[in-house]
Structure 1
Amino acid sequence: MAKPITSITIVGGGTAGWLAAVFLRTKIAKKIKVTLIESPNVPTVGVGEATVPNMPATLRELGIEDRDFFKRCNASIKMGVMFRNWNVDHRGDFISYMNPFITPPMIDRMEAGYFFHAFGAGKRDFIQSFSPLMDLLQAGKCPLSFGGKDDPMPRVGYAYHLDAGKFAGMLAEIGNDRGVEHILDDVQDVELDDRGYVAALQLQEHGRHEVEFVIDCTGFQGLISQKALGEPFESYSDYLANDRALALQIPHPDPLRLPAATSSTALGAGWSWSVPLFNRIGTGYVFSSAHRSDDAARDEFMRHLGDTAPKGAEPRVIPMRVGRTRRAWVKNCLSLGLSGGFIEPLESTAIHMIDMGLRWLLLYFPSQDADDATRDRYNRTVDAMYNEVRDFICLHYRLGNRTDDPYWIDARRELKLPDRLAENLELWKHRLPSPLDLPTQFLFTHHTFQAVLLGKQVYRNGYGDGTFSRPYVMNEKNWREFLRKSAAHTRATVAYKADHRQMLLALRGEMGKGANVATKLGEVEGALKQEHALF
């Protein structure tokens, strides 16, 4: 009879390692010993500072208080991602659009995207036709309010921007408080048993450490899964060209006005991210080394930043290995974070993939034998998640229409398309994405794909052959009435919602002094409880 697991060893710290440690200590019903072994000599990459809408729920499940999180991690609210300059319109002008955390409504039992495609929305783009999020962003506001009773939009998905280093530090403190054994040491050797399972780790200072089940969070090096167990790495370089990044921290141009969205601005050989934290902006340039040298990319990036970059600032260069370990779970070893794989941070999926990997581990929790059926089902699920994320990222490049640099032309003509995405792009020339088109929707639903196609204005720019299918009766008058009501709702929502910076001050407990603090903070906590109860 297979023996139950009594201990789990995590190798590597950072967000991946410490999120795994806290998650397992908090969520596993049985008393299982959790040990985290972290090298004192290996720095974490710490590039990703944005999350997706599952993050608020994850923090609540882990018992992390909002006030502690916002203050300690300099966190801010994220309503979605603004894409700038990825495409041009029919006049050749750059387009901006949002990938928002909101679902379009049904109109006359038909999706709003079809009405927008047929009749347009005047000067408003697709997202603005039904959602106030872009208007909130332009007004410097966020989706939360100080009083929930009369809120015209009480429920909306949102995520966080956070300081990855401080977040990992906070998780480490929580993990230690909850009984995670923390060992600062270097792994010198990995001992395998006669089945090829990891039996023990040889540590430089602490000697032999026995292993029942190990989680590899050692970053790109994949110390356990790839080096010791020999699991091959599958590159995505045929699909995605970007393999380098520059990273820099800069001050807010206007500290009193904090945008509640991530920004992705296309440059000559890639794109620049902007993640607005409470105290600063995390920014960088993801680019292709086949199209820019490090020096040329740095010069281009610094020109893009202009006066917002501190004098003498020097971005650090980060090599990116885009792809994944072929199998996430091998023998008695599970890969999480960068050791499991990395797809460029265009949609802030890194922490989400760690989160899902842990949830699926609990769902398929093994015995010490780690049977093949359990491993295989877990690996197929993780494989499907990576395929979903890869396909969605590839979509952004294949549907670009810039011609001002060979990089953008190569992205359309030279990069390989995943088979499923290629089939769907042929289908979507004639109809909008539907739920039946996607094998999984772990994060990106058919509505998310619709937002990209309609945001990029591909149909206005000749995508397809003019045989777009709209088989249902569509009443333009009903659409115009919907737009009128939607615009009124947007105005009311923007007027009601809180200034983003003021909301963050309240969440941090720094609104002011005396009764005003108590009143405002009490309203915020009440609103958050109401919001949390809906999810």
Structure 2
Amino acid sequence: MTDPRIRNIVIVGGGTAGWMAAAAFAKVLDAGCSIRLVESEEIGTVGVGEGTVPHLKLFNNLLGIDDVEFVRNTQGTFKLGVQFNDWGRLGDSYVHGFGTIGHDVGLLPFHQYWIKARQAGKADEIGAYSLNTVAAPRGRFMPSASDAPPGSPLANVAYAYHFDAGRYARFLRGYAEQRGVRRTEGKVAQTVLRAADGFVEAIVLESGERIEGELFIDCSGFRGLLIEQALHTGYLDFSHWLPCDRALAVACEKVGPPTPYTRSSARPAGWQWRIPLQHRTGNGYVYSSAHVSDDEAATTLLGHLDGAPMGEPRLLRFTTGVRRQAWSRNVVALGLAGGFLEPLESTSIYMIQSGITRLLNLFPRHDFSPVLTERYNAQSRFEYEHIRDFLILHYHATERDDTPFWNQCRMMSIPPPLADNIRLFRDSGRFFRDGEEMFATPSWVQVMLGQRIAPKGYHPLVDQMPDAELAGFMASVSHVVASCVEVMPAHQAFIDRCCTAPAMVA
């Protein structure tokens, strides 16, 4: 009887996407499955220094990699959220912190009570009621404390990471190769399709070597060597809503302790990121080429660095959007080959992780049932479109009218689901998460409030709490958060004690 299992996987492209896939497959699939990764050192990768979301910890846990091992090997630091400067208006600043805001009361989320108290002048800014948003600007960090009392904010600290993407890929390469993944150096010169059904039969390298496979993973970056150049799946362009199409990236010298947050500062034609690592700081300007030249963008970027630049800015061109089919025939596209939503909320690595997890959950047999393919593509599209809408919110919900770029963002039409979310929140502060979309209610609430979308009212059940009790409730929550932050160590002190990276050549 013929074995129906997939026994031969070929990954085209390395970098973060390729080696994340290789490591996960090597860990989860049985030893009888051959995994081969083809990459070329000449092509290089896009990774410049990455911020992530908390989900990456789950991926590392799957591989059996703990925080100390990960952070040391990637020159990493910790991330409690993202600080947004000058987005709503010039001079504005708020933190989108991971984790919760306050604590819910019955059926209602905390922010509903906060709205009433704030309108009555009896509450601070929403950030005062979240551990992450108070701790981040003060440079404090610690993971969850096992000895914290139940319900304490310190019992469940949500955090992500900043790290060197190139080092992470190399670390995962070592992990994967130790578990049997074979790496082949070379460039793909040809993709061979089966005449009968158009499935990929093999790739042929410039050396002439032919590599056959049953399942092919396209991690070839924006080029999409298999998913697009061979299978022509098409691309959905999101640039009407996400108008930035270029980025300049440069590292600079470290000038002080790393902040436990990513900084995102709005600029005249886009925004600038700052990602602190242990050995340097990553910076980049994401911008619209229709509103600023590359030279002007470089001048802006270099003029807002903390330290001396460690080289010339590197230009990246992109079109935001997603493949019409992330899984076509026997090819699954991961990373930039599958789509790109720009780095505003650090979702790129999450999308790689999510794609890998989705593929493992829907892993096919040799017959490649279209039922699995259709579900994969539907879930992938759902995820991309919901993250897209969250990113659009940052651009569109602005009062800035000082440059043509921000006028375009403020005045542009937006997807109906996003318009509905804004309208509902502005009416009475309500938000309803759509199924398993990535960003939960606290994220939407923090960004909508930070972008000056002010609710007119609140849920009527809030009025069941007496006004005096409401004031006391607000004061109690903010006091608990402030007290917890006081006992947290400095971010740099925590790194020095637990996970300092070894000296390495940058």
Structure 1 alignment gaps of length 5 or more: 512-535
Question: Contact conserved, 1:66 with 1:507, CA < 8 A, in 2?
Answer: no
Question: Contact conserved, 2:4 with 2:365, CA < 8 A, in 1?
Answer: yes
Distance (whole Å) between structure 1 residues aligned to residue 18 and residue 311 of structure 2: 30
Distance (whole Å) between structure 2 residues aligned to residue 441 and residue 113 of structure 1: 21
Question: Contact conserved, 1:433 with 1:446, CA < 8 A, in 2?
Answer: no
Residue 263 of structure 1 corresponds to 263
Is 1:450 the equivalent of 2:445? yes
The one-letter code of the counterpart of 1:154 is A
The one-letter code of the counterpart of 2:192 is E
Is 1:470 the equivalent of 2:459? yes
Residue 281 of structure 2 corresponds to 281
Superposition deviation, residue 145 in structure 1: 7.4
Residue 374 of structure 2 corresponds to 376
SS at match of 1:224: coil
The one-letter code of the counterpart of 1:133 is N
Distance (whole Å) between structure 2 residues aligned to residue 434 and residue 147 of structure 1: 32
**Among 203, 208, 211, the residue aligned to 2:205:** 203
Superposition deviation, residue 33 in structure 1: 0.9
How far does the alpha carbon of each residue in 1:126-182 deviate from its partner, in whole angstroms, 9 at most, with x for none?
A: 121x22323322322113378845786121111111100100011111111111011
Distance (whole Å) between structure 2 residues aligned to residue 179 and residue 67 of structure 1: 25
Question: Contact conserved, 1:146 with 1:498, CA < 8 A, in 2?
Answer: no
Closer/same/farther in 2, CA of residues 432 and 203 from structure 1, 3 Å limit: same
Question: Contact conserved, 2:14 with 2:219, CA < 8 A, in 1?
Answer: yes
Superposition deviation, residue 247 in structure 1: 0.5
SS at match of 2:51: coil
Residue 495 of structure 1 corresponds to 486
Which is worse superposed, 441-450 or 399-408?
441-450
Distance (whole Å) between structure 1 residues aligned to residue 26 and residue 310 of structure 2: 44
Residue 229 of structure 1 corresponds to 231
Count of aligned residue pairs for this structure pair: 493
Superposition deviation, residue 12 in structure 1: 0.1
Closer/same/farther in 2, CA of residues 356 and 403 from structure 1, 3 Å limit: same
Closer/same/farther in 2, CA of residues 508 and 469 from structure 1, 3 Å limit: closer
Distance (whole Å) between structure 2 residues aligned to residue 251 and residue 58 of structure 1: 30
Residue 83 of structure 1 corresponds to 84
Question: Contact conserved, 1:388 with 1:441, CA < 8 A, in 2?
Answer: no
Residue 318 of structure 1 corresponds to 316
Is 1:301 the equivalent of 2:301? yes
Distance (whole Å) between structure 1 residues aligned to residue 501 and residue 291 of structure 2: 46
Question: Contact conserved, 1:81 with 1:99, CA < 8 A, in 2?
Answer: yes
Distance (whole Å) between structure 2 residues aligned to residue 323 and residue 72 of structure 1: 32
Residue 143 of structure 1 corresponds to 142
Residue 254 of structure 2 corresponds to 252
Residue 132 of structure 2 corresponds to 133
Closer/same/farther in 2, CA of residues 312 and 28 from structure 1, 3 Å limit: closer
Which is worse superposed, 244-253 or 7-16?
244-253
Residues 95-494 of structure 1: pairs in structure 2 closer than 5 A: 95-104=92-101, 105-107=103-105, 109-120=107-118, 124-128=124-128, 130-144=129-143, 148=147, 153-193=154-194, 194-205=196-207, 207-254=209-256, 257-305=257-305, 308-310=306-308, 313-414=311-412, 416-435=413-432, 438-459=433-454, 466=456, 468-472=457-461, 473=463, 474-494=465-485
How far does the alpha carbon of each residue in 1:252-283 deviate from its partner, in whole angstroms, 9 at most, with x for none?
A: 332xx221111111111111111111121111
Which is worse superposed, 79-88 or 146-155?
146-155
SS at match of 1:428: helix
Distance (whole Å) between structure 2 residues aligned to residue 19 and residue 178 of structure 1: 13
Residue 47 of structure 2 corresponds to 46
How far does the alpha carbon of each residue in 1:70-96 deviate from its partner, in whole angstroms, 9 at most, with x for none?
A: 1110111111111111012xxxx6221
Which is worse superposed, 315-324 or 346-355?
315-324
Distance (whole Å) between structure 2 residues aligned to residue 37 and residue 510 of structure 1: 29
Superposition deviation, residue 456 in structure 1: 2.4
Question: Contact conserved, 2:425 with 2:431, CA < 8 A, in 1?
Answer: no
Closer/same/farther in 2, CA of residues 67 and 156 from structure 1, 3 Å limit: closer
Superposition deviation, residue 302 in structure 1: 2.3
- 4+ aligned runs moved over 6 Å, structure 1: none
Residues 504-515 of structure 1: pairs in structure 2 closer than 5 A: 504-508=495-499
How far does the alpha carbon of each residue in 1:38-80 deviate from its partner, in whole angstroms, 9 at most, with x for none?
A: 1232110003501111111211210224332111101111111
The one-letter code of the counterpart of 1:263 is R
TM-score if structure 2 supplies the norm length?
A: 0.92
Question: Contact conserved, 1:49 with 1:163, CA < 8 A, in 2?
Answer: yes
How far does the alpha carbon of each residue in 1:203-240 deviate from its partner, in whole angstroms, 9 at most, with x for none?
A: 12251111101000000000001001111111111111
Closer/same/farther in 2, CA of residues 149 and 100 from structure 1, 3 Å limit: closer
Closer/same/farther in 2, CA of residues 226 and 217 from structure 1, 3 Å limit: same
Question: How large is the RMSD of aligned CA atoms in angstroms?
Answer: 2.1
Question: Contact conserved, 2:86 with 2:93, CA < 8 A, in 1?
Answer: yes
Distance (whole Å) between structure 2 residues aligned to residue 326 and residue 403 of structure 1: 35
Distance (whole Å) between structure 1 residues aligned to residue 155 and residue 13 of structure 2: 40
Distance (whole Å) between structure 2 residues aligned to residue 485 and residue 428 of structure 1: 26
Closer/same/farther in 2, CA of residues 509 and 96 from structure 1, 3 Å limit: closer
TM-score if structure 1 supplies the norm length?
A: 0.88
Distance (whole Å) between structure 1 residues aligned to residue 327 and residue 145 of structure 2: 45
The one-letter code of the counterpart of 1:185 is G
Superposition deviation, residue 434 in structure 1: 2.6
The one-letter code of the counterpart of 1:486 is V
Distance (whole Å) between structure 1 residues aligned to residue 340 and residue 5 of structure 2: 32
Question: Contact conserved, 1:188 with 1:202, CA < 8 A, in 2?
Answer: yes
Distance (whole Å) between structure 1 residues aligned to residue 482 and residue 175 of structure 2: 42
Distance (whole Å) between structure 1 residues aligned to residue 14 and residue 364 of structure 2: 23
Distance (whole Å) between structure 2 residues aligned to residue 185 and residue 368 of structure 1: 27
Distance (whole Å) between structure 2 residues aligned to residue 144 and residue 381 of structure 1: 32
Aligned-residue sequence identity (percent) comes to 33
Question: Contact conserved, 1:388 with 1:440, CA < 8 A, in 2?
Answer: no
Structure 2 alignment gaps of length 5 or more: none
Distance (whole Å) between structure 2 residues aligned to residue 398 and residue 207 of structure 1: 50
Question: Contact conserved, 1:2 with 1:367, CA < 8 A, in 2?
Answer: no
Distance (whole Å) between structure 2 residues aligned to residue 147 and residue 446 of structure 1: 26
